[in-house]
Amino acid sequence: GVVIATSQIKHVLGVKPPRRSRWWENVWELAMHFQDTHAPTVTIGITILSLLMMLKYWKSAGPAEKREAHWLWRWFPKKSTSIAFMAMKLSSDLAPLMAVTLGGLWAWAYRAS
């Protein structure tokens, strides 16, 4: 996990440090290039990552009673037969595809501006 995270975080930060063979060297390079981070890329990266994590945890929140007791999930649809719940479930199932699509649209819009 650490190797994958250190090799991918540069995309979230919008920096292009040189690739090293060891993960701790990659972390060092990221730290040295941190001042080069691209704010719009960080914003969209953190937003999409947060959305993915939220949908993942919503999907595994359990039955309606457990969702009702949760401080955040009680505000989301709980009845599994409702249209809103089914739409949210479909959204959580398609979240990775939506994340790639949103990221691609962001890149296209940013390059076009």
Q: What is the mean pLDDT of residues 85-113?
A: 88
Please count the other Cβ atoms lying within 10 Å of the Cβ belonging to residue 86. 13
Cβ partners under 8 Å of residue 103, min gap 6: 44, 45, 48
Instruction: Tell me the pLDDT band of 10, cut-offs 50, 70 and 90.
Output: confident
Token pair of 73 as six digits? 């999930």
The whole-number pLDDT of residue 41 equals 83
Could you give the percent of the chain with pLDDT greater than 70?
Answer: 100
Cβ partners under 8 Å of residue 56, min gap 6: 92, 95
Angle, helices 83-93/95-112, rounded to nearest 10 degrees: 70
List, for residues 32-47, the tens digit of each pLDDT value. 888 888 888 888 888 8
The whole-number pLDDT of residue 93 equals 93
The whole-number pLDDT of residue 2 equals 77
